[in-house]
Amino acid sequence: MPKFFATTAKGIEAVAAEELKLLGAVDVEAGYGGVHFEGDLELLYKACLGVRTATRILMPVRDFAAKNPEMLYDQVRRIKWENYLNPEKTFAVDCTVAGAKALKARDGRIDAPPAPGPRGGLSHSHYAALKIKDAIVDQLRQKQGARPNVDTESPDLRVVAFINNERCVLSFDASGASLHERGYRLRGAKAPLKETLAAAILMLSGWDPRTPFIDPMCGSGTLVLEAGLMALNIAPGLFRDRFGFFGWPDFDEALWTKVSDEAKAQVRRRVEAPIAGYDADRDAIASALDNAKRAGLSKSVHFEKRTIETLEPAGSAAGTLVVNPPYGERLGEVEELKALYGQLGDLFKQKMKGWTCFIFTGNRELAKSVGLRASRRFELFNGPIDCRLLKYEMY
Ligand SMILES: C[S@@+](CC[C@H](N)C(=O)[O-])C[C@H]1O[C@@H](n2cnc3c(N)ncnc32)[C@H](O)[C@@H]1O
C-alpha cells in the first residue's frame, strides 16, 4: 500500500494522526513535524479533502544518500521522470535542507546558484533545489528533446525534497497549495491564525459541536469559521478547485468525483448549538462576515462588534470559549495588554460559570495576568512563535 506523510505545524502531529485514522488511514504514526500513514488512492483523496490540521500531504517516491551536490544530481537523474512529466507539463521543486540557513527555496525564485556548502556538501536549500531541477530537466531533454517548464504557483507536479544527515527523501506533493488555504478567507485581518492551527486548537479544546462556542476576540473569524465547518461536517477541501494530485498521471477523475460527492452528501443542514464570534474592531467583524459568506456559513455562525466588557454568553447552556488575544511585540504594548488579559480572567470568573475557557497566546508573561490557574497547557507553534493553549475550567 502506498505510504504518505502529512506535514503539520509543530505540536499538532498527534491531533492530525487521530484525524487521519478517522479518515481511514492505516499504520498511522505521528513523527516530528508530521504524520506517517498508509492508504490507497481513495484514502489519499479523502485525506486531502477532509484533513483539517495537516499542511501538506506528500507521497515519498525515493529515499537515497545525498552527501554532495553531484550525488544528489545523479540520484535524481536515475528516476524515470518520463513516468510523471513530459514537455507539456509543468513542475516545481521545493527543497528543505535541515539546519540550512535558507530553510526553504523554490527553484523558480533563484537568480544565481549560491556556492555549495563546506567541503562540497549540501548545506543550501536553494542550491539543492537547483540541482534537482537540473537533473529532471537534463534527463527529459535528453530523452524527449524538450523540457517541461517550471511553474512555482500551480505546477502539474510539485517535487518536495527533504535533505537531512546526508540523506534525501524525495516526495510528490498531493495537496498542491498548502491545505490551510481553504479558499474562504480572502480579506486580510490583523494577525489571523492559520486555518489548520485554528482547527487543531478546536480539536485540542475537546469542544463538542452540540454545545455552544464563543470566540470573544475573533478577528477575521478563523476559529469560529473552523468551528462552523466542523459542526456542519463540511470537508475543508470542498472550497478548493485544485489539488496537487490532479496533475499526477494516475489521477482517477471518477474516483475523485465519488469521494467529493460523498463528502458533499455528508454535510449537515444546521448547527446544533450557537457558534459566535465578537471583536471590538469594526473592520475585523466586516472581514469575518465576508469570510462566513464565502464559506456558506452566514446562517450558521454569528458575528457581532462587541468588546469583551459587554459580552454576554449566547444562551444559558455551558460551552467552550477559545480566545486568541493580541500578544504584543513591543514592551509598551505588552504592558498595555496586561490589563486586557486581566479583563479576560474577570470575564471567565464573572460570566462563564460552567464553561471551559481557553487562551491561545505567544506570550507567557501576559498569560500570568489572567489571574487564574490553568488546568492544562498545550505547547503549539504559531509559525515560529512558541505558543501555549491554556485551559481554564470555570466551575
Ligand atoms: C490576534 S487577533 C485575533 C485573530 C483571530 N484569531 C483570527 O484568526 O483572525 C486579536 C483580536 O482581538 C481584538 N481585541 C482587542 N481588544 C479587544 C477587546 N477589548 N474586546 C474585543 N476584542 C478585542 C482585536 O481587534 C483583534 O482582532
Instruction: Return the CATH number at 153.
Output: 3.30.2130.30
Using a pLDDT cut of 90, give the percent of the chain over it.
81
How far is the centre of ligand 1, averaged over its atoms, from the C-alpha of 350 (Å)?
A: 20
Total structural domains within the chain: 2
Q: Is the CB of 308 under 6 A from ligand 1?
A: yes
Question: Which ligand 1 atom is nearest residue 193's CA?
Answer: 8
Q: Is residue 93 part of a domain?
A: yes
Say how many Å lie between the CA of residue 376 and the centre of ligand 1. 23
Which residues have CB under 8 Å from 25's CB, separation 6+? 4, 37, 38, 39, 43, 47
Strands (E), the chain: 3-7, 26-31, 34-38, 56-65, 90-97, 105-106, 149-150, 157-164, 167-173, 213-215, 275-279, 302-305, 320-323, 356-361, 376-382, 385-393
Which pLDDT does position 108 carry in this prediction?
36
Q: Is 252 within a domain?
A: no
- What number does the ligand 1 atom closest to the CA of 360 have? 6
Asked if residue 91 and residue 145 are part of one domain, the reply reads yes
Spatial distance between the Cα atoms of 162 and 260, rounded to a whole number of angstroms? 31
Residue type, 383: G
∠287-288-293 over CA atoms, to 5°? 95
Residue 190 lies in a domain: no
Burial of 149 (0-12, 13-18, 19+ CB in 10 A): middle
Least confident segment among 113-127, 172-186, 263-277, 319-333: 113-127
Which residue out of 180, 182, 185, 190 has the highest number of ligand 1 atoms within 8 Å of its CB and is therefore the one to mutate? Answer: 190
pLDDT tens per residue across span 149-187: 999 999 999 999 999 988 999 999 999 989 999 988 876
Query: Is residue 241 domain-resident?
Result: no
Alpha carbon of 280 to ligand 1 centroid (Å): 7
207, 161: one domain: no
**How far apart, in whole angstroms, are the C-alpha atoms of residue 51 and residue 57?**
10
Q: Which three cell numbers stand for residue 32?
A: 516530528
Q: Is 212 in the pocket of ligand 1 (CB under 6 A)?
A: no
Q: Does residue 280 have its Cβ closer than 6 Å to ligand 1?
A: yes
CA distance 259 to 46: 6
pLDDT, the chain, mean: 91
pLDDT of residue 189: 65
Kindly give, in sequence order, each residue whose CB lies less than 8 Å from that of residue 13, ignoring residues fewer than 6 positions away.
Answer: 30, 31, 32, 33, 34, 35
Instruction: Say yes or no: 229 and 347 in one domain.
Output: yes
- DSSP symbol at 166: T
pTM of the model: 0.92
**Which residue out of 195, 213, 229, 279 has the highest number of ligand 1 atoms within 8 Å of its CB and is therefore the one to mutate?**
279
Give 86's pLDDT tier (boundaries 50, 70, 90): very high
356-361: strand order across its sheet: 302-305, 275-279, 213-215, 320-323, 356-361, 385-393, 376-382
- Per the domain annotation, does 333 fall within a domain? yes
Q: Which residue has the higher pLDDT, 334 or 254?
A: 254
Same domain, 85 and 224: no
How confident is the model over 39-64, as pLDDT tens digits? 999 999 999 999 999 999 999 999 99
Question: Side chain identity at 220, as an amino acid letter?
Answer: S
Does a structural domain hold residue 264?
A: no
Residues 71 and 199 in one domain: no
156 shares a domain with 215 = no
Residue 70 sits in the same domain as residue 169: yes
57 lines ligand 1 (CB under 6 A): no
Lowest mean pLDDT among 83-92, 121-130, 182-191, 216-225: 182-191
The CATH number of the domain holding residue 325 is 3.40.50.150
If you take atom 3 of ligand 1, which residue's CA is the nearest one? 219
Whether residue 91 is found in the same domain as residue 148 = yes
220 lines ligand 1 (CB under 6 A): yes
Statement to judge: residues 18 and 90 lie in one domain: yes
The pLDDT value recorded for residue 334 is: 84
Identify whether residues 101 and 222 lie together within a single domain.
Answer: no
- Least confident range from 71-80, 233-242, 325-334, 342-351: namely 325-334
Residues 6 or more apart whose CB falls under 8 angstroms from that of 147 comprise 87, 137, 140, 141
The answer as to whether 81 is a domain residue is yes
Residues 154 and 214 in one domain: no
Q: Does any domain span residue 239?
A: no
Q: Give the pLDDT score at 90.
A: 96
Expressed as residue numbers, the domain containing 326 is 195-233+273-393
Q: Please tell me the distance from the alpha carbon of residue 73 to that of residue 133, in angstroms, as a whole number.
A: 9
Given a contact cutoff of 8 angstroms between Cβ atoms, the answer to whether 162 and 122 are in contact is no
191 lines ligand 1 (CB under 6 A): yes
Q: What is the pLDDT of residues 101-126, one digit of tens each?
A: 433 344 433 333 444 554 456 668 88
124 shares its domain with 222: no
